[in-house]
Structure 1
């Protein structure tokens, strides 16, 4: 009987000096292997699509956390539009009969550059006739040639978010019929109560169930610096919002880290502004420390990393 020869796999080629190992975690912090992220043959993922925009933390929050919210956008040529967390049917944009332009940040589909997807939709909406549906083309398709938000929006215009109790803003100024009202009622039934805590950036309280509430806080700091600061507070048992609360973990979203705390559901959202302000002060002080982490702080950091996931 002839002997069967087993083909040997070629040894993996080591990365050249200065190059990224394709099987190693991508340096962008996405959690994926380099070959499936920035080393892909496709267009690289834009890890921070909202970087450079005023209110980057709120763009991330409206994209991933907040069910019903709006904010006014101003373009570089002085036109305005309304940014909405989500629009009916997940539409990327619409133009009301009075000419008001709305842009929905929670798109049904997206490419590796969310900013270009939204910029493409906004550009189409700005040119669409009043009262007509917006057709931005294949939003979410690879290789889209539309503009990015950073090319369209005034970098000096602040983003001021208004959180709504329901989706009533969908039908403002319209003669809504029975079908639209029924759709609105159905959407409102699924909404999670959410409150923006005043003066604390993108700190959002939410209550997903009658017995559960959370504080989710989109932070602007670089990930490694923020993790060190959180670890210092954790090592000193100061990573808390007070009695009955606990640090639940964090997730990455669009290049930023979002720490999450569990809080008692029976305490009103506004009552967490004070404890969150004190925590922010402790975190600011920890961010300024440059000493190496202590043994307790390193253990704390390892625990933080074990409870961190990536959404995008």
Structure 2
């Protein structure tokens, strides 16, 4: 299931790492993609966390959303050698990947456990699925924990193909084309009962509306901008009173997930998701103008920025 947007997640173990690779130049960039030299990264016996594991993938913001926010969604992927894969928010039992009898490969982004590089965890699972026979169990070996042994997603996927996400009302896609027994159907019904209604607002990137049970709905918007620049822009809007999405809304704060900032608004629960598209589009225009501002923050804007920082948590 999608993780809570208001709760800190315990940090993954970071004291262990994959062993140094023979033949790698210690001064060369580390193959893990961290941006550090190999001797200061995996070659040192200590692997620092990869803060943006999905960086470089098309639709990085949606990868973060499917990992942390969205209960039921899928998106087609294509590997570098042209094979088709279906990305899923979560798979039955939290499986990292599976191969159907038809040969269709599914990759689940919400892993039950992860290392300090989620991209390598998912790449390890995908590499195993690509080698598994149709209908056979996928055995990627240890995924997460002290570190996964396979390639990163950036090494396996076609990086020119856009990520087109479809949000589902339930997990029916789990059993598409499958002759499911009573146990599988019961598991599906149990999973469906826990889903929070979720929709993506069209044309606005990774802007996801969700309605928990209660008096408030929420808009959670995974933003692609660098955090400091985005915070300055949000501070300008808050100081001018332009950070809200309309009557009855409240800017609730933001959280960091996999290197990106996710602002959150509280919304009236009785208003459907589609009715927020215009307000969010207008906010996007205001935000773009604020992002383009070059003057230093005023005293009011600095105070607003401090208030924004006090409302932030980190998921990853």
Q: TM-score, normalised by structure 1?
A: 0.87
**Secondary structure of 2:207 counterpart:** strand
Counterparts of residues 61-140 of structure 1 (less than 5 Å):
61-140=65-144
The one of 179, 186, 191 equivalent to 1:175 is: 179
**Secondary structure of 1:126 counterpart:** helix
The residue number in structure 2 matching 1:259 is 263
* 1:42 CA drift (Å): 2.9
Say if 1:43 and 1:142, in contact at 8 Å, map to a contact too.
Answer: no
The residue number in structure 2 matching 1:214 is 218
Q: Aligned equivalents of 2:134 and 2:187: distance in 1?
A: 22
**1:292 maps to 2:303:** no
Counterparts of residues 193-232 of structure 1 (less than 5 Å):
193-232=197-236
* 1:145 CA drift (Å): 2.6
Q: Aligned equivalents of 2:193 and 2:149: distance in 1?
A: 38
**1:165 maps to 2:169:** yes
The residue number in structure 2 matching 1:237 is 241
**Secondary structure of 1:118 counterpart:** helix
Alignment deviations for residues 58-108 of structure 1 (CA, whole Å, 9 cap, x no partner): 000000000000000000100010000000000000000100000000000
Q: Aligned equivalents of 2:152 and 2:99: distance in 1?
A: 20
The residue number in structure 1 matching 2:150 is 146
Say if 2:100 and 2:135, in contact at 8 Å, map to a contact too.
Answer: yes
Quote the RMSD (CA, aligned, Å). Answer: 1.7
**Secondary structure of 1:102 counterpart:** strand
Larger radius of gyration: 1
Alignment deviations for residues 242-271 of structure 1 (CA, whole Å, 9 cap, x no partner): 000010000000000000000000001000
The residue number in structure 1 matching 2:5 is none
Alignment deviations for residues 128-176 of structure 1 (CA, whole Å, 9 cap, x no partner): 1111111100000324331000000001000000000000000000000
Provide the aligned length of Structure 1 versus Structure 2: 279
Say if 2:121 and 2:147, in contact at 8 Å, map to a contact too.
Answer: no
Q: TM-score, normalised by structure 2?
A: 0.86
Say if 1:72 and 1:160, in contact at 8 Å, map to a contact too.
Answer: yes
The residue number in structure 1 matching 2:274 is 270
Alignment deviations for residues 15-68 of structure 1 (CA, whole Å, 9 cap, x no partner): xxxxxxxxxxxxxxx9x9xx99x9997310000000000000000000000000
Say if 1:163 and 1:194, in contact at 8 Å, map to a contact too.
Answer: yes
Say if 1:231 and 1:304, in contact at 8 Å, map to a contact too.
Answer: yes
The residue number in structure 2 matching 1:9 is none
* 1:111 CA drift (Å): 0.2
Q: Aligned equivalents of 2:215 and 2:254: distance in 1?
A: 21
Return 5+ residue gaps in structure 1 as ranges. Answer: 1-29
* 1:290 CA drift (Å): 1.3
Q: Aligned equivalents of 2:199 and 2:307: distance in 1?
A: 29
* 1:205 CA drift (Å): 0.1
Q: Aligned equivalents of 2:60 and 2:174: distance in 1?
A: 24
**Secondary structure of 1:244 counterpart:** coil
* 1:209 CA drift (Å): 1.2
